[in-house]
Amino acid sequence: MLKTNPFLKEIAHYLKAHTGLEEKDVYPLIDQPPNPDMGDYTVPCFPLKERLHKSPNLIAQELAQAIVGATGRSPLQLVTRVKAEGAYLNFFVQHDELARWILERVHKEGNGYGHATIGKGKTVVIDYSSPNIAKHLAVHHLRSAVIGNALYRLYKALGYHCVGINHLGDWGTQFGQLIVAYRKWGNEEALKEDPVDALHGLYVKFHQEAKNDASLEDQARLAFKELEGGDTEARHLWGHFKEVSLKEFNKVYHALGIRFDYYTGESFYNEMLNDTVERLKKAGLATLSEEALVVNLEQYGMPPCLLKKKDEASLYATRDVCAAEYRAREFGFSRMLYVVGSEQRLHFKQFFKVLELMGYPWVKDCVHVDFGLIKFKEGKMSTRAGRVILLEEVLKEAVERARGIIQEKNPDLSRAEEIARQVGIGAVIFADLSSRRTRDVLFDWKEVLNFDGETGPYLQYTHARLCSVIRKYGGTVDGKVDFSLLKEKDEYLLVRKLESFPRSIVSAAETCEPVVLCNYLIELASLFNRYYNHHRIISKNEELTRARVLLADCTRQVLRNGLHLLGMETPEEM
């Protein structure tokens, strides 16, 4: 909770007087009780047991008595009542003051509400999406891109300097294969029409032909050597493959609203690899095994980490070690996140171990932010057929379906095309983010686009509904209202929910779990919708209307801020 909260300040001040604890040590103890009937804030007394040498229940009782004092009334200003309940010390505060403190802040801070400065002066490097070039972006690349993008935005909101890196898979023997295939069977024309498709075709053909012609593999090894050595023709071809791939990737990134600070792929480290290998040799870590250069990790219960093949070609892990060293030098990160699927868990364990053995203290700040698979339930995108599902197709289908639903719900909507895009893409992003990362995502179109379910469109719809309330009100929303008019329990619950938005951002970022924010937003939207169904926001009572409009507008603001942090757009009508 934020220290500047005057309620917490008062509670901390009082606890300090009666326990001798420093205020800063009291803040982390203060929480919201699970049930608002129990109070507005609660302090569990278990952590005070050691210090005060009493049972937590007794501590709670004595503190309550001490704070209320002989008069039986709270001497405090904002706290109206203190009550011991078991081992908990519960505080009741003035609700109109609570509403004032929270709503005024949301209103004043606007798009910045929820942002903080805890990351000031610190850098987070995020490695995300990172697909292999000369292949289509498949649907599993969605997860890395979407999770990485959300983490980028979350950390940024907390004041961290973020470095977003697309570590493209643009180096390695397979590009030798592709060069050979292109020289033999490729043609400009095919590459123009659907370049990535053509490249993928060449790659497949190479492997078919290589079954009968062993010399192809040797040629490919040679071609990769040429590439590593800087041969002009090889570099030219490879550059072309990369360029056409990036063009296609960028279309998808653009559709998803995802950007990167760097597209430094594996090839970027080519010139630095030798130094890395030298360091590994000097440290006595690199050993020869069947002519390949490896770091033996048997002692740690892992297979060896491969650094160089017997033909001297570098490998994925070599480039990752080198890239980590480079990033540590270049960015001096306080955290480095690798948003990569769970199937690469062993790779990350191995190469983090290598970094540790090299003596780098910053390896403790490297995190493999892993995630599960994405699966489709039924229909033409069923994964059961074993077909690779292209990300572009998924996004197209989402927008088409959203368009259908919107047409049915609101046929007169202007800008329907734009809104269908925002809703379709938003639905896909939210479906990806709204379960714990490591769980597989089962994609069911009906559910993903259900406007009444726990979905992206539901949140966007609630946001649009709020915008429409404000439009209907017509006037400017005033931050100074009579807060004592917000007497309904649903209003209180909404206010408290708005209060905890900043905390949910911190928690989502720290655990690298955007689902924390997804859940928060679903709860917020549900609270609002319940309130909206039972109470009139705009009525003849002007003062009450002003207060309720402020509450509605703050809810709109927080929904908007939250959806943007997830990487979703927020149409104002739907």
Cβ closest to ligand ARG, residue 227 vs residue 518? 227
Cβ closest to ligand ARG, residue 170 vs residue 569? 170
* Count of positions on this chain that bind ligand ARG (CB under 6 A): 9
Q: Which residues have a Cβ under 8 Å from the Cβ of 224 and sit 6 or more positions away?
A: 172, 173, 175, 176, 179, 313
Cα dist. 380→30, 432, 525 in Å?
52, 19, 32
Please report how close the Cβ of residue 338 comes to ligand ARG at its closest, in angstroms.
5
| Interacting residue with ligand ARG among 127, 248, 325, 569 (CB under 6 A) | 127
Per-residue interface string for the shown chain with ligand ARG, residues 129-168, x marking contact by CB under 6 A: -xxx----------------------------------x-
Q: Does 372 interact with ligand ARG (rule: CB under 6 A)?
A: no
Instruction: Give me the residue label for tokens 């075709």.
Output: 201
Cβ closest to ligand ARG, residue 264 vs residue 504? 264
CB 486 within 8 A of CB 492: yes
Give alpha helix (H) positions in 474-514.
Answer: 489-499, 501-510
Cβ closest to ligand ARG, residue 315 vs residue 449? 315
Q: What gap in Å lies between CA 549 and CA 478, rounded to an integer?
A: 8
Please report how close the Cβ of residue 125 comes to ligand ARG at its closest, in angstroms.
10
Please report how close the Cβ of residue 169 comes to ligand ARG at its closest, in angstroms.
3
Q: Nearest to residue 338, comparing CAs of 356, 359, 315, 363?
A: 363
The residue count of the chain comes to 574
Per-residue interface string for the shown chain with ligand ARG, residues 336-365, x marking contact by CB under 6 A: --x-x-------------------------
| Interacting residue with ligand ARG among 39, 164, 169, 372 (CB under 6 A) | 169
Please report how close the Cβ of residue 499 comes to ligand ARG at its closest, in angstroms.
38
CB atoms under 10 Å from CB of 445, counted, come to 18
Which residue's CB atom is positioned nearest to ligand ARG?
Answer: 169
CB 106 within 8 A of CB 315: no
Please report how close the Cβ of residue 394 comes to ligand ARG at its closest, in angstroms.
17
Q: Nearest to residue 102, comparing CAs of 205, 164, 32?
A: 32
Give alpha helix (H) positions in 315-451.
Answer: 316-331, 345-357, 391-409, 416-433, 445-448
C-alpha dihedral over 230, 231, 234, 236, to 10 degrees?
80
Q: Does 242 interact with ligand ARG (rule: CB under 6 A)?
A: no
Cβ closest to ligand ARG, residue 132 vs residue 334? 132
Q: Does 170 interact with ligand ARG (rule: CB under 6 A)?
A: no
Q: What gap in Å lies between CA 487 and CA 29, rounded to an integer?
A: 28
Please report how close the Cβ of residue 132 comes to ligand ARG at its closest, in angstroms.
5
Measured distance between the N- and C-terminal CA atoms of the chain, rounded to whole angstroms: 35
Cβ closest to ligand ARG, residue 91 vs residue 260? 260
Cβ closest to ligand ARG, residue 370 vs residue 499? 370
Cβ closest to ligand ARG, residue 82 vs residue 168? 168
Please report how close the Cβ of residue 343 comes to ligand ARG at its closest, in angstroms.
8
Tokens of 212: 């009968």
Cβ closest to ligand ARG, residue 226 vs residue 320? 320
Single out the segment in contact with ligand ARG by CB under 6 A; choices: 127-135, 256-264, 428-436, 548-556: 127-135
Q: Nearest to residue 21, comparing CAs of 31, 13, 30?
A: 13
Interface contacts to ligand ARG, rule CB under 6 A:
127, 130-132, 167, 169, 320, 338, 340
